[in-house]
Structure 1
Amino acid sequence: MSTITQRISSFLRSPRGQQLVDRGRRELAKPTTQRKLRELATRLSGRRR
């Protein structure tokens, strides 16, 4: 039985995994997505003590 990390890395090497990686990179390149992530990081860091 393969470990979860092996299964994930195998998936990411597959054609479907590559499509998802490319889609994620395109989404992260968008300024609106970057702004939303910065706002989320700010909110989450504000919750820490």
Structure 2
Amino acid sequence: MSALVQRLTRFLRSPQGQQLVDRGRRELAKPETQRKLKQLASRLSSRR
């Protein structure tokens, strides 16, 4: 399992990984995305 974590860490530190992280941050900043995530969270919490 530690090998997988090491590979992920290396990828996230690479230029391609940094681009992916930046894209994710931009998407999470959008109000529509935040609304969708809140809806998903409420559906998942109501299942319990």
TM-score (norm 2): 0.94
Identical pairs, percent: 74
| 2:3 alignment partner AA | T
TM-score (norm 1): 0.92
Q: Report how far residue 28 of structure 1 moved.
A: 0.1
Within 5 Å, give how 1:1-40 maps onto structure 2. 3-40=3-40
Cα distance in 2 for residues equivalent to 1:47 and 1:3: 35
Runs of 4+ in 1 over 2 A off after TM superposition: none
Question: How well do the aligned residues superpose, as a CA RMSD in angstroms?
Answer: 1.0
Structure 2 segments unaligned to the other structure (5+ residues): none
